[in-house]
């Protein structure tokens, strides 16, 4: 006899379920019952309905697909302030002439306005968890306020607090803005630990130590960041080998390739999460795989900044955990459906092999592997998992016919097709609208903050209504 579930908080019914649980990957006309923050039952709609008692709210999801919430494993929400600016620049000038001056000028009020809209963008487009590598400004109050803003919108994740510490040789070579290196190593660690105590590992939004880039952060400070992550049972985060010149700088400063150096300094563990990891040789891939470290692939950003294409197959085969990210609204928007599609297309082109990925693999990267990185029971739909899932409407003309719906999810679906979002058992988006915040006010506040910061950062020269198309014709 099937056990009854008393007092069901939410019942989502009538959808086809793409569970990412290999025991039962697809359930047609299924239902999910939520009790508290957990999936209490999942299965064919009639079976689940027969078990549920005292249902507080039923949501009819006929014509939609329910899947685990998408996990944006690397972004910079404050960068929304510079949305549409910095086009036509490669990474080094992009950082030196646009992003770092912007970052150095951002105050708490600007940052929070941007974070709230970025988090709202994420929630509305089906992203249920975000790792926000927040590095401007990084005082304790703002760092915690970023976490609170995300929680107010209702999403899960982490504020990976950007740590700079003292300026080192790599930072000078990278032309980093000195104003970001304003705290001593001791202060960086104290602020991060204070934030970790306020938002511990069991919080909806955690705090992670995030020495910003392996090429321009002091070695001891990176080691202390890992220790802090272990002590508080969270992951830690950094940028690594995004561009070829970073690797060249690393080799010239340390005499070793980045991953060999990280390995020799005890920095590769299963809590280690690196954004990018594009320029890796075979030995580096093996070391990352052996350590079960996470590499976050940011396919749209990597195209935008012409950084390169990740070696997806070799990294997965070596045993590394590969998650997907957007890497900031200023370069890639916040639509994880777009990230899945781009990741797939890029690999096909890199390998000249259309069999090198699949829609199913992309969903795993975007959901399950992100969950593994968060060290949370999310990214899969099964009894006992945390209730983080989305319902996607496939009835629009641009999605029909959806004969093999799993391919719709990675080819034609847009974030705006998401109609319901549940995070931690809470129904945070209903019929495409936030149930948590005033959307119009969040948008207006972010526009206002963006205008102010463009003036303050002295980057008004980047604001041009139109530039001559001729300047892009010259081949190098």
Give the range of 28-36, 193-201, 275-283, 309-317 binding Zn ion by CB under 5 A: 275-283
CB of 239 to Zn ion, least distance (A): 5
Question: What percentage of the chain's residues is helix, strand, coil (to nearest 5)?
Answer: 45, 20, 35
- Binding of Zn ion by 72 (CB under 5 A): no
For the bound state, the minimum distance from the C-beta of residue 288 to Zn ion, rounded and expressed in Å, comes to: 18
- 431: left (phi > 0), else alpha (psi -120 to 50), else beta? left
Q: Which of 242, 96, 250 is nearest to 169 (CA)?
A: 250
Q: How far is the CB of 34 from Zn ion (least distance, A)?
A: 33
Stretch that binds Zn ion, among 7-15, 80-88, 269-277, 373-381 (CB under 5 A): 269-277
Task: Give the CA count within 13 Å in the CB-facing half-sphere of 298.
Answer: 31
Choices 36-44, 83-91, 221-229, 322-330 (CB under 5 A): range interacting with Zn ion: 322-330
Place of tokens 């297309």: 345
Task: Report residue 106 as tokens.
Answer: 């951002």
Burial 297-329 (b: 16+ CB within 10 A, else e): bbbbbbbbbebbbbbbbebbebebbbbbbbbbb
Q: Which stretch binds Zn ion (CB under 5 A): 8-16, 108-116, 155-163, 267-275?
A: 267-275
CB nearer to Zn ion: give 39 or 115.
115
Phi, psi angle pair for 249, to nearest 5°? -65, -45
329/392 with CB nearer Zn ion: 329
Least distance (Å) between residue 74 CB and Zn ion = 6
Q: Which residues pair with residue 260 across a beta bridge?
A: none
**Is the CB of 132 or the CB of 188 nearer to Zn ion?**
132
Site string for Zn ion, 280-319 (x = CB under 5 A): ----------------------------------------
> Which residues in 241-396 belong to E strands, given as ranges?
272-276, 294-297, 321-324, 389-393
Considering only the stretches 7-15, 324-332, 368-376, 444-452, report the one whose residues sit in contact with Zn ion under the rule CB under 5 A: 324-332
What's the min distance (Å) between Cβ of 262 and Zn ion?
Answer: 17
* H/E run at residue 172: helix 169-173
With respect to Zn ion, which residue has the nearer C-beta, 324 or 385? 324
Smallest distance, Å, CB 259 to Zn ion?
18
Q: Which stretch binds Zn ion (CB under 5 A): 197-205, 245-253, 270-278, 281-289?
A: 270-278
CA proximity to 423, closest of 387, 383, 378, 377: 387
- What is the contact mask toward Zn ion in residues 327 to 366, using x (rule: CB under 5 A)? x---------------------------------------
**Interface characters, 227-266, with Zn ion (x: CB under 5 A):** ----------------------------------------
Q: C-beta of 407: minimal distance to Zn ion in Å?
A: 29
CB of 116 or CB of 327, closer to Zn ion: 327
Residue where the block lists tokens 């990957």? 25
Of the pair 177, 327, the CB lying nearest Zn ion is at 327
Rounded to 5 degrees, what angle do the CA atoms 418, 421, 422 make?
A: 160
Q: Please state, in angstroms and rounded to a whole number, the distance separating the CA atoms of residues 413 and 289.
A: 32
Closer of 70 and 275 to Zn ion (Cβ)? 275
CB of 120 or CB of 275, closer to Zn ion: 275
Cβ 130 to Zn ion shortest distance, Å: 13
- For Zn ion, give the closer residue by CB, 275 or 387: 275
The residue number whose beta carbon is nearest to Zn ion equals 327
> From residue 29, how far is each of 20, 44, 68, 252, 473 by CA, in Å?
16, 6, 16, 59, 52
Distance CA 334, CA 331 (A): 9
Q: Shortest Cβ distance from residue 296 to Zn ion (Å)? A: 9
The distance of closest approach from Cβ of residue 331 to Zn ion in the complex, given in angstroms and rounded to an integer, is 8
- Residue 191 · residue 161 · CB < 8 Å: yes
Cα–Cα dist 281/225, whole Å: 26
Size of the site for Zn ion (CB under 5 A): 2
- Are 276 and 239 contacting, i.e. CB atoms less than 8 angstroms apart? yes
What does the chain come to in residues? 476
Q: Which residues contact Zn ion (rule: CB under 5 A)?
A: 275, 327
């Amino acid at each position: 006899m099937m056990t009854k579930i008393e007092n069901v908080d939410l019942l989502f019914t009538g959808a086809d379920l793409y569970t990412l649980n290999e025991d039962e990957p697809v359930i047609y006309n299924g239902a999910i019952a939520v009790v508290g923050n957990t999936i209490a039952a999942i299965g064919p709609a009639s079976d689940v309905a027969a078990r549920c008692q005292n249902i507080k709210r039923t949501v009819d999801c006929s014509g939609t697909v329910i899947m685990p919430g998408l996990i944006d494993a690397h972004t910079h929400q404050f960068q929304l302030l510079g949305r549409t600016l910095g086009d036509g620049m490669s990474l080094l000038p992009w950082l030196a002439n646009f992003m770092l001056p912007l970052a150095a000028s951002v105050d708490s009020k600007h940052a929070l306005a941007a974070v709230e809209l970025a988090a709202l963008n994420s929630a509305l487009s089906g992203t249920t968890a975000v790792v926000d590598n927040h590095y401007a400004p990084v005082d304790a109050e703002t760092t915690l306020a970023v976490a609170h803003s995300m929680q107010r919108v209702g999403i899960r994740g982490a504020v990976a607090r950007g740590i700079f510490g003292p300026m080192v040789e790599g930072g000078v070579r990278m032309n980093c803005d000195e104003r970001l290196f304003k705290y001593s190593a001791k202060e960086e660690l104290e602020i991060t630990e204070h934030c970790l105590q306020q938002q511990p590992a069991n919080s909806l939004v955690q705090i992670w130590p995030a020495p910003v880039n392996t090429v321009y952060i002091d070695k001891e400070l990176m080691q202390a960041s890992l220790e802090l992550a272990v002590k508080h049972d969270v992951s830690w985060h950094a940028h690594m080998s995004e561009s070829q010149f970073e690797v060249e700088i690393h080799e010239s400063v340390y005499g070793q390739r980045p991953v060999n150096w990280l390995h020799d300094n005890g920095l590769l563990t299963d809590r280690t999460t690196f954004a990018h990891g594009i320029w890796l040789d075979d030995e580096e891939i093996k070391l990352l795989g052996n350590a079960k470290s996470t590499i976050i692939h940011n396919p749209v950003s990597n195209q935008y900044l012409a950084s390169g294409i990740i070696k997806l197959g070799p990294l997965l085969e070596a045993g590394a955990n590969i998650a997907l990210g957007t890497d900031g609204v200023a370069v890639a928007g916040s639509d994880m459906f777009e990230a899945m599609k781009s990741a797939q297309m890029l690999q096909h082109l890199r390998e000249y092999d259309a069999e090198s990925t699949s829609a199913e693999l992309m969903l795993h990267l975007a959901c399950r592997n992100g969950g593994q990185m968060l060290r949370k029971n999310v990214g899969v739909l099964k009894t006992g998992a945390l209730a983080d899932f989305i319902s996607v409407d496939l009835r629009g003309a641009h999605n029909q016919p959806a004969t093999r719906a799993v391919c719709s999810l990675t080819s034609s679906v847009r974030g705006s097709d998401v109609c319901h979002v549940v995070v931690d058992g809470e129904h945070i988006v209903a019929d495409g609208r936030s149930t948590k915040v005033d959307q119009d006010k969040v948008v207006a506040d972010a526009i206002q903050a963006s205008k102010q910061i463009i003036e303050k950062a002295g980057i008004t020269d980047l604001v041009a209504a139109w530039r001559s198309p001729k300047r892009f014709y010259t081949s190098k």
